[in-house]
Chain A
Amino acid sequence: MHISLDSALGRQRRLNSVGESVLQIAPNAAAAYSLRSLTGGDPKVVRVRRVIDNAESDFTAAGISSGALVNFVNNIQTVGTAVNGTGSFDNYTVSNLSNTGFSADNSAGGTGSAGFPYVFKDEDVLVIKYTVTNFSSTSSLSPKIRGTSSTSSATEVTSGGTIFTANGTYTDTLTATADGTHLMFADGNTGSYTISDFEIVSHSSNGFVETWYDQSGNSNDVTQATAGSQPKIVNAGFLVKVGSRASFKFDGSSDFLARATYTQGELSQPNTFFSVAELDAYIDGNQKTYDGYQTPQRNMLQLNTAGNGQFAHFGGIVAATGEDADADRHLFTSLLNGASSDLRIDGTSKTTADTSARGMIGIVIGANHNRLTDFWDGDIQEIIIYNSNQSSTTPAVETNINSHYSIF
């Protein structure tokens, strides 16, 4: 007689229906964080801060896949009316100032500059188009556009930009190396020229996560109100992705999302966690995918210093896999249930060692419970938490998650 592994483990195999969501397969999650819909609807999933002007907006799962989130982050700002340089850079005589052009005459010599008020941030990439007419060089006139941090400086806070020495229409790509306030044409030679049809073709920027919304219906959103500790979701104009799916990048030095207390209070064991995460680099170190918000109520998934560095989970005692970790993306299934705990990676059980019996009151995603150490250096795409033993639904949930992320 053949006995399957599932029946030997007392599990009932469950066949997923087409289009069935995780929370339809396994309802009653305590908290559920993802950038895809876990409900089957189009829930609000993330609140994003764009660095261009620190504006924030909420997005649904469809708002991510449609490109609305990226468009919000890459919003082109208003170009101001052209201005002359100041201080040591005011030698141009400028006229016809508008927000698309100006005329500059540097017949008197000396370094001059003129350009447009336009705010950009470090790492932003700007594509700029403009037309040069009436170019007349008396002596080697060769202006070049650059980002500056004031009108009294021609010091470049962008890289890129071409010197022009003739009439024509130019398209330049500037990459910011620091925050800036102006896009200025500057030159130390004599002559005159007119800029017209100045426009920002695109402004690629960065976006960061202020809130990762809970899709379970329990309002256990995790947040980060400190800009310097927010994980990144849009990098240089592009959605952060791992394996073609949207992701959060945690910087390994200060980024985390947290919730001090679950709306349900303490989640006592058994607890089941499904997580999709990937390290940027495999090291022998301590990095937390998630942890409790306070000690001793800590349930944790981590890269642990056991051996050469092993994945582990914790409910009061560390239970490590016994094998080297790596920097591949994985689906981690952590059942914390005292002496009956189980840590599965990509559908395979790695350790059933006792993790002890602690519960969990709140959660820190991407750092230690004290929010000061053990920062996750890599990506986290999904964390779903059940205040129950989900052994019976685990294969079906793992199948659903793997179908979406193609992990193993």
Chain B
Amino acid sequence: MLYLIYASKEAAIERADEEGKEIGFDYWIEDNGQGTRWLTYPDETIDHMWALDVTDYDLDESEESSTVNHYTPLPDPEDD
């Protein structure tokens, strides 16, 4: 798996939106606020950054050089 790490959830979603538009998911075509929007969605990391799985994304050179293959997710405060 390949991940890009973002400082904010908004920045990560912006990149996810870009990929979703490129793929042509229904959300971006129908423009009715319904339907599939993203290929992947960011998860919060233990250090409160945001990791986006970009394994199947069409990355530019800058992004390719910035990917990491692991992150530590934010732990669940209630482990049931």
Q: Which residues of A line the B interface, CB within 8 A?
A: 47, 49, 53-56, 210-211, 225-230, 286, 295-296, 298, 300, 302, 304, 314, 318, 368-370, 372-373
Contacts and interface: CB of A to CB of B under 8 A. Distances in A.
B39 A225 contact: no
Nearest to A291: B80
Interface stretch (B4-12, B30-38, B60-68): B30-38
6 contacts: A210-B35, A225-B36, A225-B37, A229-B41, A286-B80, A298-B80
Contacts of A295: 77-78
Nearest to B39: A227
Contact of B23 (A54, A230, A300, A369): A54
Contact of A54 (B25, B41, B77): B25
A263 to B, nearest CB: 16
Contacts of A54: 23-26, 36
A298 B76 CA distance: 13
A300 B53 contact: no
A314 B76 contact: no
Contacts of A298: 78, 80
Contacts of B77: 295
B76 A228 contact: no
Given A210-B36, A225-B37, A226-B36, A300 B80 contact: yes
Given A54-B36, A302-B80, A318-B80, 14 more contacts: A47-B35, A54-B25, A54-B26, A225-B38, A225-B41, A226-B38, A226-B40, A286-B80, A295-B77, A300-B80, A368-B76, A370-B74, A370-B76, A373-B73
A55 B41 CA distance: 20
A172 B71 CA distance: 44
Given A54-B23, A229-B41, A373 B78 contact: no
Interface residues of B, number: 23
A228 B53 contact: yes
A9 to B, nearest CB: 29
Given A49-B26, A300-B80, A314-B80, A226 B41 contact: yes
A296 B35 contact: no
A385 B77 CA distance: 26
A302 B37 CA distance: 29
A226 B26 contact: no
A373 B75 CA distance: 10
Nearest to B76: A370
**Residue with the greatest number of chain A CB neighbours at <10 A, chosen from B40, B76, B80:** B80
A213 B77 CA distance: 31
A234 to B, nearest CB: 15
Contact of A372 (B30, B37, B39, B43): B43
Given A228-B53, A295-B77, A295-B78, A210 B40 contact: no
Contacts of B38: 225-227
B35 A225 contact: yes
A227 B36 contact: yes
Given A56-B35, A372-B43, A227 B25 contact: yes
Given A295-B78, A296-B78, A300-B80, A228 B26 contact: no
Nearest to B41: A226
Nearest to B38: A226
A370 to B, nearest CB: 5
Contacts of B73: 372-373
B12 to A, nearest CB: 12
A174 B30 CA distance: 32
